[in-house]
Amino acid sequence: MERLRDSNEFIGGFIPRKQRAKILIGFLGISILVLSLRLFSLQVMKASYYKRISDENRIRLVPLQAPRGIITDQNGRVITFNRPSYTVFLIPYEVKNLDFVAERLAPLLNLDLSTLKERLKANWSRRYEPIKLKKDVDFKTICVIEEQNQDLPGVIYQVEQIRRYPDCGWAGHVLGYVRELSKEELSSDSVSSAEKSDFSESTSLKLSPAERRGYRPGGYIGRKGVEKQYDDLLRGKEGGTFLEITAAGKIIGPLEDREPDLPVKGTDIKLTLDLDLQVEAESALMNYESAAVVAIDPANGEILALVSKPGFDANLLAGALSSAEWNEILQNPLHPLLSRTVQATYAPGSTLKLLTAAIALESGIANKNTYLAPCNGSYRFGRRTFRCWRPEGHGRLNLVDAIIHSCDVYFYQLGLKVGLEEWCRYAKLCGFAEKVGVDLPDEVKGFVPSLEYYNKKYGKGEWVKNLVINLSIGQGEILVTPLQMASFYCGLATDGTIYRPHILKEITSPDGRVSIAQSEVWRHLPFSSATLGVLKEAMVGVVNDKDGTGVLAQIPDVTVAGKTGTAQNPHGEDHAWFVGYAPAKDPKIVVAVVMENIGHGGTFAAPVAKRIIDKYLKRGIVAERADSVLAGDTP
Amino acid sequence: MIKFRYKNFDWGLMAVALILSVIGILLIYSAKHYSANVVERGIYLKQIVWLFLGFCACIIVFLIPLRFYEVFSYVLYFIALSTLLLILIVGSSKMGASRWFSLGGLNIQPSEFAKIATIFALSRYLAYSKRSIYSFRWLVPVIGIAVLPALLVLRQPDLGTSLVFLAILISMSFWAGVPIFYLFLIVSPFISLICASHWVAWALFFLILIIILYHLRLNFLFSVGFLLCNLAFGMITPLIWNRLHDYQKDRIIVFLDPGRDPQGAGYQIIQSKIAIGSGGLLGKGYLQGSQTKLAFLPHQHTDFVFSVLGEELGFWGSLMLLGLFSFIIVKGILIANKARNAFASNAALGITSILAFQMLVNIGMTVGFLPVTGLPMPFVSYGGSSMLSSWIVVGLLLAIHYRWYEY
Ligand SMILES: [Zn+2]
């Protein structure tokens, strides 16, 4: 199709050069005319209007708050929503006697009289600009202010939407919280570190990256948890309207030639979390100070419950927190702001014996009936003695029994056969020392040592064997997060496929469009189904054998499988571990429990896991409790 | 040496360009003379130096024979493209906006010079191509030459400057004799995209399109393909658009139209309108602009320099500026019309179209007609690259005028 036209016939269009020049000049003339008319309208017709604004010279942008997206659990039950709150302001120019008003307001708003006066005096010069006195004032106080408005001239209040989280800090680490942004935070880059927009440098405006993403001082930003991770979705888009005000701050009215930018509501988020299960997990840990629980659906990686204790009260953090209260949280030795499920690392203890066993099985070093030297309570290697947790010893055991009874001596020998390099290689293949990539902020990757690491630390030598003895029972240098442990067991519970754990289930845009988060495979365990079969058999035994270490996780009618762990801790009591799944034949849930400084995994962690699994598989029995979490508020 | 022919030299053009430059320096001085920062107060001196350099460049460009530009047009174009590519690779690793090249402390903006090189390349192609202007083979290189640098500039990202390339493409194709209807067809996918936002507008657009296609008696297959292409453009874009999340949309909107961002450019436009409007008929007087004094406009010495003029010299001052620009542009068109050499004629027109486009878009932006795209006003806005390229362009126009009879 070389020629576009069927014929060469001369049909319209072609214009000789001189005509073209005339057309161009005509085009220019029209453009100039249009611009001149615009200038005429601005500079002649509306000149007095603009002169007035120019003389008075203040335009104030009043932000229009965008309602933040609501967060629900997988069944659509609201976990976090917005509620109206009252903020009290004082307009100086209506106040005749500052001391009189301040003395009445201080007790009413529960403020210190001298600091209140200082604040008022500092802002007194801009007489028409409202001074913010207190946020989130309760309704009763507002009623009192209404009643006494004759005595309290210039005191006004405004409704603002603020975030409402579950009471007592339920699911606090999952949800995170929002805080007002200060000017300093905004100009520093910390806000924008999450992700830089592709278009961040597109305009020639001098805005900080955070400002370009729509943040402004006094606006809210998500901190921690889902609020941080999905801040861009939840936040919506703040609107704004321009007000014309005088130099003294008196509002004349909205600017004439500009429509207000209406706010866009934030996107609603549905989490994979099951509120019943979350509540059950938190109740199970009620009496313990520091612990972490991860529950995952191994079929798709959906996180069903995620607990980190101690927690924090998100309502408190989102509100007006005094610096004393803030310091108290920061200096708490238990670090309540640390999300232990993804940010804390522990030695996995015996829960990792399954890795040692799997490597041995996979590389043909052992099979399920391999017997090693009998356990008499300790194992001598070189000049050192390594103890079994059971001082009287376990006697002669095969691999499956060694897992069921968690015999350390058996695994010392197995670890030596596997060798350090091979052990570390497999540990990395299983995803340890690597971020799982969960959609929660600040995940850490833990640690798996390597030969180079040891060479650097200890120098070359025979120590290699001592070290693998420790690693083979999950002690020594290895560090894992509870989430990594749960993910590893997701692989053990299934055919080796591990879905990437995630907390987002679906989002609903303000226009009602729903998009569902897709599950994706994170990795496959490097083990054959025969290997996994042996491990499964052993894990069922751990819980269901009459002298297995995990018998406290037994549930009638359901076969639970799992492994206990007791991680030695140089700073105090041992950490208790239990990681398991159920039902053994067709796993619906994987649970990892770690409890700090408490003792044996079988004694403390297994019963907690049992409660969670029991609740999940037989849910609906005590459904009322979850609803009571949010009692007293209606979204 | 050949005797200089006074009468053939376009003194008026040079004088007006000089007047515009001096007005620019005066406005820059006014915009910054209240600044507390000594360096900022002194930037008008820098601009004087740039004017001097620009004037020298103008004379050099004038003295070089036109044949030189014609012969080396593709080479220059290639160099310009490589520079743009280089700046994308080198510049992007540093600070986000990679429009600038730093050469010994002087910031050079290669896209300013890429415009001129593109005009040369297009002029040469249009002057020598033997193909029919109704053929695909003719059209593809024309579009390619203009769109390639435009895309590179868009990646920087600098939307305003990449639109200048589009303006060059349209105006020069028109000058080469492409009928207006064909030009409409070239830009129609973009129009389709815009019209697709409302079905009535879209239907109307297609009606017009079909009428034009019928009127031109274009190849039937081509016509159908073309309509489908337009249909696809209009339909797929909203589909993709709807798949995006709101925050992604916002980023694109702010990218295309920063004026939508109420705290940033939106604020600037309002302040600019207040400045211009409050100037009234006669203006507040030189150095008397209160908006200017209070520095409400952060870019008033560069992209928003017109608002200083509007405030201080009023409606009459604004009209005077428009008049001076119109003089240069009309001169340019007449020079293009008069030149016998096809390359020179095309080049003169391309050059003129840049000046016209930038001036119109810049003023359109300051009066709130067009989105804030960041195009400087030739001769007047502060900036070395802009000043240099404006004067190079004047040098070319002068040369073409001086040697109009050459073939
Ligand atoms: Zn033992």
Q: What is the CATH number of the domain that holds A463?
A: 3.40.710.10
Closest-approach residue (CA) in chain A for B252: A199
Look-up: residue for tokens 């849930």?
Answer: A589
Residue A6 and residue A68 in one domain: no
The maximal CA–CA distance of chain B, rounded, in angstroms, is 68
The answer to whether residue A171 is domain-embedded is no
Q: What is the pLDDT of residue B61?
A: 94
Window 155-174 of B: residues touching A by CB (8 A cutoff) are 157, 159, 171, 174
Mean pLDDT (chain A, rounded): 81
pLDDT in tens, A371-415: 988 998 888 887 888 888 888 888 898 999 999 999 999 999 999
The answer to whether residue B263 is domain-embedded is no
Rounded to 5 degrees, φ, ψ at B106 are: -95, 130
Contacts of B255 in chain A (CB under 8 A): 199, 202-203
Residue ranges in B218-264 assigned as alpha helix (H): 220-243, 246-256
Q: What is the pLDDT of residue B94?
A: 41
Residue A16 and residue A153 in one domain: no
A509–B181 C-beta distance less than 8 A: no
What total of structural domains would you count in chain B?
1
Helix (H) or strand (E) holding A291: strand A291-297
The answer to whether residue A532 is domain-embedded is yes
How distant is the Cα of B179 from the closest Cα of chain A, in angstroms? 4
Tell me the two tokens of residue B134.
Answer: 């109704």
**Whole-model pTM above 0.90?**
no
Number of H helices, E strands in chain B: 17, 2
Helix (H) or strand (E) holding A268: strand A268-271
| Mutation choice for A interface testing from B254, B293, B363, B382 by most A CBs within 10 A | B254
Window 53-72 of B: residues touching A by CB (8 A cutoff) are none
Q: What is the pLDDT of residue A211?
A: 57
The answer to whether residue B261 is domain-embedded is no
How distant is the Cα of B131 from the closest Cα of chain A, in angstroms? 10
Give distance in angstroms: CA of A393 to centre of ligand 1.
Answer: 5
Mean pLDDT (chain B, rounded): 83
Confidence of residue A632 (pLDDT cuts 50, 70, 90): very low
Instruction: Find out whether B278 and A50 touch, Cβ atoms under 8 Å.
Output: yes
B315–A44 C-beta distance less than 8 A: yes
The answer to whether residue A383 is domain-embedded is yes
The answer to whether residue A169 is domain-embedded is no
Window 217-256 of B: residues touching A by CB (8 A cutoff) are 217-222, 242, 245-247, 250-252, 254-255
Confidence of residue A490 (pLDDT cuts 50, 70, 90): very high
pLDDT in tens, A500-544: 999 999 988 888 888 888 888 999 999 999 999 999 999 999 999
Q: What is the pLDDT of residue B101?
A: 55
Please tell me if residue B130 touches chain A, with a CB cutoff of 8 Å: no
Tell me the two tokens of residue A314.
Answer: 């998100």
Q: Domain residues for A76?
A: 58-164+182-217+231-266
CA dihedral A342, A345, A349, A352 (to 10 degrees): 50
Q: What is the pLDDT of residue B80?
A: 93
State which residues have CB under 5 angstroms from ligand 1, the bound ion. Answer: A 375, 388, 394, 407, 409
Instruction: Find out whether A396 and A535 touch, Cβ atoms under 8 Å.
Output: no
Rounded to 5 degrees, φ, ψ at B95 are: -80, 140
Closest-approach residue (CA) in chain B for A216: B263
Give distance in angstroms: CA of A495 to centre of ligand 1.
Answer: 30
| Residue with the larger pLDDT of the pair A203 and B126 | B126
How distant is the Cα of B201 from the closest Cα of chain A, in angstroms? 23
Contacts of A205 in chain B (CB under 8 A): 258, 261, 264-265, 268, 298
Residues of chain B with pLDDT under 50: 1, 92-97, 104-105
B326–A199 C-beta distance less than 8 A: no
Average pLDDT over residues A433-437: 90
Residue A190 and residue A311 in one domain: no
Name the nearest CA neighbour of A304 among A507, A544, A587. Answer: A587
Query: Is the N-terminal amide bond of A67 cis, ω within 30° of 0?
Result: no
Report ipTM (2 d.p.): 0.89
- Distance, CA of B38 to CA of B192 (rounded, Å): 51
Tell me the two tokens of residue A325.
Answer: 């209260």
Residue A410 and residue A525 in one domain: yes
Q: Domain residues for B32?
A: 6-185+199-228+273-402
Residue A391 and residue A444 in one domain: yes
Exposure on the CB side of residue A144, measured as CA atoms within 13 A: 11
Q: What is the pLDDT of residue A589?
A: 92
Residue A244 and residue A293 in one domain: no
Considering only the beta carbons, identify the residue of A36, A233, A255 that sits closest to B270. A255
B315–A39 C-beta distance less than 8 A: yes
A457-475 burial, b at 16+ Cβ within 10 Å, e below that, comes to eeeeeeebbbbbbbbbbbb
Tell me the two tokens of residue B308.
Answer: 């200083």
B280–A43 C-beta distance less than 8 A: yes
Rounded to 5 degrees, φ, ψ at A433 are: 60, 30
Minimum mean pLDDT among A202-216, A304-318, A396-410: which range?
Answer: A202-216
Window 361-390 of B: residues touching A by CB (8 A cutoff) are 363-364, 367-369, 372, 374
| Residue with the larger pLDDT of the pair A148 and B152 | B152
Query: Is the N-terminal amide bond of A583 cis, ω within 30° of 0?
Result: yes
Residue A388 and residue A410 in one domain: yes
The answer to whether residue A177 is domain-embedded is no
Considering only the beta carbons, identify the residue of B264, B319, B336 that sits closest to A205. B264
The answer to whether residue A500 is domain-embedded is yes
pLDDT in tens, B90-144: 754 444 445 555 554 456 688 888 999 999 999 999 998 888 777 778 888 988 9
A vs B, Cβ pairs < 8 A, gives 216
A26 pLDDT higher than 90 = yes
Q: Which positions ≥6 away from B38 have C-beta within 8 Å?
A: none
B360 DSSP β-pair partners: none
The answer to whether residue B143 is domain-embedded is yes
Amino acid in position A282: E
Closest-approach residue (CA) in chain A for B292: A54
How distant is the Cα of B257 from the closest Cα of chain A, in angstroms? 9
Query: Is the N-terminal amide bond of B65 cis, ω within 30° of 0?
Result: no
* Percent of the residues in chain A that have a pLDDT greater than 70, as a whole number: 84
CATH code of the domain containing A123 = 3.90.1310.10
Contacts of B299 in chain A (CB under 8 A): 204
Instruction: Find out whether A516 and A505 touch, Cβ atoms under 8 Å.
Output: yes
Average pLDDT over residues A341-357: 91
Amino acid in position A510: P
Q: Is the C-alpha dihedral spanning A323, A325, A329, A332 positive or negative?
A: positive
Tell me the two tokens of residue A259.
Answer: 């429509």
Three-class DSSP category at A530: helix
A261-298 burial, b at 16+ Cβ within 10 Å, e below that, comes to bebbbbbbbbbbbbbbbbbbbbebbeebebbbbbbbbb
- Distance, CA of A497 to CA of A477 (rounded, Å): 27
Instruction: Find out whether B120 and B109 touch, Cβ atoms under 8 Å.
Output: no
Considering only the beta carbons, identify the residue of B177, B221, B314 that sits closest to A14. B177
Residue A425 and residue A559 in one domain: yes
Q: What is the pLDDT of residue A296?
A: 94
Name the nearest CA neighbour of B44 among B287, B366, B362. Answer: B287
How distant is the Cα of A344 from the closest Cα of chain B, in angstroms? 32
What total of structural domains would you count in chain A?
3
Instruction: Find out whether B5 and B404 touch, Cβ atoms under 8 Å.
Output: no
| Mutation choice for B interface testing from A34, A39, A199 by most B CBs within 10 A | A39
The answer to whether residue B407 is domain-embedded is no
Q: What is the pLDDT of residue A618?
A: 80
Closest-approach residue (CA) in chain B for A265: B246
Instruction: Find out whether B193 and B237 touch, Cβ atoms under 8 Å.
Output: yes
Closest-approach residue (CA) in chain B for A515: B243
CB atoms near residue A377 (< 10 Å): 15
Instruction: Find out whether B271 and B310 touch, Cβ atoms under 8 Å.
Output: no
How distant is the Cα of B2 from the closest Cα of chain A, in angstroms? 32
Residue A382 and residue A237 in one domain: no
B132–A3 C-beta distance less than 8 A: yes
Confidence of residue A129 (pLDDT cuts 50, 70, 90): low
Q: State the burial class of residue A499 (Cβ atoms within 10 Å of its Cβ: 0-12, 13-18, 19+).
A: buried
Contacts of B372 in chain A (CB under 8 A): 203
Residue A292 and residue A252 in one domain: no
Amino acid in position A90: L
Tell me the two tokens of residue A547.
Answer: 């002298």
Give distance in angstroms: CA of A288 to centre of ligand 1.
Answer: 29
Cα Rg for chain A, rounded, in angstroms? 33
Closest-approach residue (CA) in chain A for B171: A24
Tell me the two tokens of residue A203.
Answer: 């305009």
How distant is the Cα of A319 from the closest Cα of chain B, in angstroms? 26
The answer to whether residue A426 is domain-embedded is yes
How distant is the Cα of B180 from the closest Cα of chain A, in angstroms? 6
Please tell me if residue B314 touches chain A, with a CB cutoff of 8 Å: yes
Residue A377 and residue A526 in one domain: yes
Confidence of residue A34 (pLDDT cuts 50, 70, 90): very high
pLDDT in tens, A176-194: 888 877 666 666 544 433 3
The answer to whether residue A91 is domain-embedded is yes
Q: What is the pLDDT of residue A105?
A: 83
Give distance in angstroms: CA of A375 to centre of ligand 1.
Answer: 5
A40–B372 C-beta distance less than 8 A: no
Three-class DSSP category at B266: helix
Q: What is the pLDDT of residue B7?
A: 82
Residue A346 and residue A238 in one domain: no
DSSP code of residue A262: P
B159–A21 C-beta distance less than 8 A: no
Considering only the beta carbons, identify the residue of A3, A46, A267 that sits closest to B134. A3
Window 13-52 of B: residues touching A by CB (8 A cutoff) are none
Instruction: Find out whether A557 and A580 touch, Cβ atoms under 8 Å.
Output: no
Confidence of residue A8 (pLDDT cuts 50, 70, 90): very low
